[in-house]
Structure formats: structure tokens, C-alpha cells
Amino acid sequence: MTEATNILRSTDDEARLLAERLLHEARFAALATLEPGSGFPLVTRVLIGFDVEGRPCLLLSRLAAHRQAVEADSRVSLLLGEPGKGDPLAHARMTLRCHAEIVSRDSADHDRLKTRFLRRHPKSALYIDFPDFSFFRLEPHSASLNGGFGRAFALTADDLRPFRFPEPAPEFDEEKMIGIVTDQIENGALPAFSGMKCIGADPGGVDLADGSTLSRIPLNTLNMTETELEMLLSRQKMRIS
């Protein structure tokens, strides 16, 4: 019997960085669920946001079939990665397997998610407060990453969430970090990101927007001083594409 060939590469930091970029530079994703009753796969497009620990979050209406599917079975998948020119399969993409959990609308967590989501998706202000909408936080379980021909990786939860708050969770001043990054851009210290707007920050990095184009600057910023953060940002010489 012929031994099966292992088509997966060993997961390295380059693969983890690609996965982080595919996730944080996405404005939307394809959400896959299982339809209650029939068990058939159900796929739809959703906007994607993030909590302060970098976990993906979705805003779902209870009137939608996919919301009902998530409530019936918390196992979901996201497909991330937009094709460019040429063969769509030559471009990087990732299937992310998660467990979904609803966030109470009466919690402080909901208010913080709302603020972060609106920075990323300003037009969602039209419906974000409708009573049928709720946030769902996704806890990554594993992922299949395809970086192009011959570049397939299997990622674990630790690969996908290298940062977790210790217990008890320290204070993380997102507004301060956004302010520092904004000042750096406006003062010309980050010429590669000139004209971009900082729309989010977490201890693992910052997210920038230029119209519909998003860019992720990966950083480990939890215990950095303001001076250290400014120095690290100043080393970002070019956008990663």
C-alpha cells in the first residue's frame, strides 16, 4: 500500500502572520452553518469585527436563517481571503473553524464591541441598534490556511490566538493606542500609511483603513510604554501586501 503524502507544511511564523492578516484585513467573510432540521450546509456573507483580544465578532439578526442556525449549533466556519487578478485559486485564503457565543446586549462588552464595529463598518450605524441584532463572539478552534499552490497549513487555536489576556485581565487603553498611531500618521512618521485611518487596536496590533482597503500592523503592545510603541511603529517602513 502506498504511503499517503503529507501535503501540509509545518506551521511557521510566516504562516501565522499570513493568517492574522487574512483575518484582520477582511471587511467581510463567508459564514458557513448547518441549517436546523435539514442539516444542509448554509452559507452567507457577513461583516466581520473584532473584540479587544482579537477574536472575530459578527453582528447577526435573529430574523436571518444563519442566525437561527448559529443558535441551534454553535459550530461555524468562516472563509476569508479575496482573490486578485488571474486564477482565484492562486490567492491566499483561510477556512476558520469556531464556536460562536452570543454577547448580551445589556453588557459593557456589547457596548465596547459596538464602538469597535462602528469604526470598522460606519454604515452599520443604520441598523446596529435594531432590537433583532446581536453580536456573536467567535472562539477560534482551528484553521486550514492555503497561501497559494504548495503552501497549505493546518493551524491550531494557539496559532490563531497567540495573545490572550492573563488573569486577572489588565487594563488595555485602546483609545490611547489609536491616538498614538493617528498622531504618528498625521506627523508623517509612518509615510507608508499616509492618509490611512486607525480603526482598531488590540494588544496584538493595530488595524488601518484607506477607504475599503484594510491593513494590519502586527505588534505585541500590552506592556509597551508610549515611547516604545512609537519607536516600534516608526520601523514600519512599508505596507505589507
Q: Which CATH number applies to 13-160?
A: 2.30.110.10
Q: Where are the domains of the chain?
A: 13-160, 174-234
166 pLDDT more than 60: no
User: Is 54:63 a contact under the CB 8 Å cutoff?
Assistant: no
pLDDT in tens, 90-114: 899 999 999 999 999 999 899 999 9
Measured over the CA atoms of residue 116, residue 121, residue 127 and residue 131, the dihedral's sign is negative
CA–CA gap between residue 108 and residue 219 (Å, rounded): 26
Q: Is the peptide bond before 36 cis (omega within 30 degrees of 0)?
A: no
Here the cell at position 67 is 442566525
The overall average pLDDT reported for the chain is 88
| Residue 58 region by backbone torsions, left for phi larger than 0, else alpha for psi between -120 and 50, else beta | beta
Q: What is the mean pLDDT of residues 132-160?
A: 94
- Strands 205-210 and 213-218 turn out to be antiparallel
Q: What is the mean pLDDT of residues 11-35?
A: 95
